[in-house]
Amino acid sequence: MTSAVEVSAQRLRERGERVTPARLAVVEVLAGTEEHLSAEQIGERAEQLRPGIHRATVYRALDALGEFGLVTHVHLGRAGTTYHLAGDLAPRHLHLRCSECGTVYDAPGDVLESARKKLARELGFHLAPEQVALVGVCQNCSR
């Protein structure tokens, strides 16, 4: 099985983009966790993987990988912005944030599929719920 790092490197080469240590470190960090990491946390972990990589370089790598469709981010409200691998590099999922305790949960990516199709069919609107957190109250807080 091919790793996300190998697939990302190949896709960068196919696009004629540079395969840099910072870009590979970012992908490696994201592929190695299920946590919702901020840019700062990714920078810290990337520096541990590849000492000498500067935080600003990691931030530029995140931006570039986002432009190339390899990394995406989600706005979690007060919890900030987090990043994860995009497309077929990671399972498609949505984010749920509890407005009471702030916990972020992952939900299956197809949970809003009927709403997505209806909006496209009736309004020509293409919903991208992966970019935001759906806000509600979690099971623990609703007790």
- Read off the CATH number of the domain in which 32 is found: 1.10.10.10
Could you tell me the pTM of the whole model? 0.81
Q: Binding site: which residues?
A: 98, 101, 113, 138, 141
Radius of gyration of the chain (CA): 17
Look at residue 83 and tell me if it is in a domain: yes
12 in the same domain as 69:
yes
- The pLDDT, as a whole number, for residue 1 is 54
CA dist list (Å): 122 to 17, 111, 127, 129: 39, 19, 12, 18
Of the chain, the percentage scoring pLDDT greater than 70 comes to 97
Task: Name the residue with higher pLDDT: 104 or 22.
Answer: 22
Q: Binding site for Fe cation: which residues?
A: 113
8 in the same domain as 34:
yes
pLDDT band at 103 (very low <50, low <70, confident <90, very high): confident
| pLDDT(131) > 80 | no
Mean pLDDT within 9-26: 95
- The pLDDT, as a whole number, for residue 62 is 95
- The pLDDT, as a whole number, for residue 30 is 95
Q: Binding site for Zn(2+): which residues?
A: 98, 101, 138, 141
Please give the structure tokens belonging to residue 125.
Answer: 């609107």
Task: Name the residue with higher pLDDT: 130 or 104.
Answer: 104
115 in the same domain as 85:
no
Domain range for 61: 4-89
105 in the same domain as 61:
no
Task: Using the structure block, give the residue that is written with the tokens 């080469």.
Answer: 13
Side chain identity at 91, as an amino acid letter?
Answer: P
19 in the same domain as 79:
yes
- List, in order, residues 6 or more apart from 76 with CB less than 8 Å away: 36, 82, 95, 97, 104, 133
Into how many domains does the chain fold? 2
- The pLDDT, as a whole number, for residue 75 is 82
Task: Using the structure block, give the residue that is written with the tokens 């520096």.
Answer: 47
**Crossing angle (nearest 10°) for helices 39-49 and 55-67:** 110
CA dist list (Å): 138 to 5, 104, 111: 34, 9, 16
Look at residue 30 and tell me if it is in a domain: yes
What is the per-residue pLDDT across 37-65, written as a single tens digit (0 to 9) for each? 999 999 999 999 999 999 899 999 999 99
98 in the same domain as 55:
no
81 in the same domain as 129:
no
Bridge pairing between strands 81-85 and 71-75: antiparallel
Average pLDDT across the chain, whole number: 90
In terms of residues, how long is the chain?
143
Reduced DSSP (H G I as helix, E B as strand, rest coil) percent helix, strand, coil of the chain, to 5:
45, 20, 35
